[in-house]
Amino acid sequence: MRLSEYASLDGTALAELVVAGEVSPAELVGSAQQAALAVDPALHAVVEMYDDPRIPRAVDTSAAFAGVPFLMKDFGAHERGRHQWMGSRAVDDRLTQSESVLAQRFRESGLISIGRSATCEFAVTATVESARFGPTHNPWDLGRTAGGSSGGAAAAVAAGIVPMAHATDSGGSIRIPAACCGLVGLKPTRGLIPTDASESVPVDFHTEFVVTRSVRDAARALCSLQKPSGIGPPADARPRRIAVAVEAPWLSAVDPAVAAATLHAARLCEQLGHTVEEATPQVDWPPLFEAMKDIWALGTLDTVRDWTDISATRCPAEIEHLTWELVTRARRLSGTAIIDALAKVDGAASSFAGFFDEYDMLLTPTLPTLPPKIGEFSPDMDLNTYYAGAVGRMEPAAAIFNATGQPAISIPAGLAGAFPLSVQFAAGAGREPDLLALAAELEAEIGWAAWTPPVHAGRPPATNPSTSEYEGHRA
């Protein structure tokens, strides 16, 4: 198989070739490794390529993604006997002694892990620019972030290294990088996908899934990975009532090009026979956002102390300042403050649930602007500076649905020059089939499968730029 062919196909198409006997899993793994060699020096999307990818001796032809190469994120679900650095200088080179439930599901679905993708330290920011590994570059523009915290996964998929990759989402970490890199990013309903999330955090916004190039890969992955008591079959193509909002309490100032792409998606929905009208759920955003930060802080504290010693009262040299601020914030929370934060989140969830009794979906921008330039974020930032800056301002539009628990999907909607712009659809809990059905309709209309970033494994090597002009930004 030519590398250009491999890099152009989604996971479903590659699996079909494996099942038909036209290509072997070993050949696909070889293509993925070749693709990484071609483009990852420019991207820094992969923190480890395995010398010994665990290729099964026999192909399970019933598996959804039989023989398809895959990347695990350096955070969240983990494989037995592999490293997991969590993007942090504070984590040593220990090998994991257990395997997470989701990693088992990935393997049972036929996916073959070939390595691990880059993330920010403990997955806490909307960009991957860690002190340990430096920045991950966007294949559409090497000077811009690929998003976070699943930025390595998104950059690798967009550049053709693998057709899909593991991603996590506690505050937009699937949808933000998917939007930055022109991919499909579905955040499932909270609790639908099995994870090893800690039970010591009272409400965990965390979920795990994948980033993909095609809607059908996302739909097939959802069927393979969800819990047995999950959602039903794919939805029909009935007309839906869609609310659209380019202004909302949780949306920071939206760039005109992003607003135009969102309204263009709304018009396409109308042309497809759906009813579209302007409407917005109402929440008291500033106190809700502070409550969300409290819950993120609790989750960060819980994760960090599982991986490194944080008994010190001052920030250890190995831990980034922003991470330590979250740890410190969590330690200062009283029981009353935690209960208050949970009440605010519960109130927002109730408000959105009521909204989705009236509307089938809500359409908003995924990001308020184009992805920020690399270097606008620093691991030494404090929390207030982070959220006032270009990177932190990306989070709220996506994170609101982590707080409320509803599913949301980011899809490409248009191009600003040669850069993809994305929109986000959200729906009521368990309504993933509706989201995927509409996304498939729009995929056929918009045709983003034909969009290829300048850095891509399917291009001749001489046409792929390097990061040499951006090396000054590396940590």
DSSP 8-state code for residue 121: G
Contact 82, 70 (CB under 8 A): no
For 298, 319, 323, the CA distances from 408, given in Å and listed in that order, are 24, 32, 26
Q: Which candidate, 413, 414, 408, places its Cα nearest to that of 396?
A: 408
Distance between CA atoms of residues 338 and 344, nearest Å: 10
Q: Is 311 a catalytic residue?
A: no
Q: Is 31 a catalytic residue?
A: no
Distance between CA atoms of residues 178 and 148, nearest Å: 9
Residue in the block written with tokens 């509409």: 438
Residue in the block written with tokens 């047995």: 228
Task: Establish whether the linkage from the previous residue to 149 is cis, with ω within 30° of 0.
Answer: yes
Q: Please identify which of the residues 173, 214, 410, 422 carries the catalytic annotation.
A: 173
Q: Which residues pair with 134 in a beta bridge?
A: 130
Q: Please identify which of the residues 8, 31, 73, 150 carries the catalytic annotation.
A: 73
DSSP for 154-219 reads HHHHHTTS-SEEEEEESSSTTHHHHHHHT-EEEEPPTTSS-----TTSSS---EEEEEESSHHHHH
Through-space distance between the first and last CA atoms of the chain, rounded to whole angstroms:
37
For the record, the structure tokens of 237 come out as 């193509």
3-state secondary structure of 420: strand
Q: Which candidate, 235, 238, 234, places its Cα nearest to that of 275?
A: 238
For the record, the structure tokens of 170 come out as 């506690």
DSSP for 350-408 reads HHHHHHHHH-SEEEEESSSSSPPBTTS--TT--HHHHHHSTTGGGHHHHHHHHHH---E
Half-sphere exposure of 6 (CA within 13 A, CB side): 28
Q: Please identify which of the residues 31, 109, 117, 149 carries the catalytic annotation.
A: 149
Q: Is 378 a catalytic residue?
A: no
The CA-based dihedral angle spanning residues 191, 262, 351, 290, taken in that order and rounded to the nearest 10 degrees: 80
DSSP for 27-43 reads HHHHHHHHHHHHHHHHH
Name the residues annotated as catalytic.
73, 149, 173
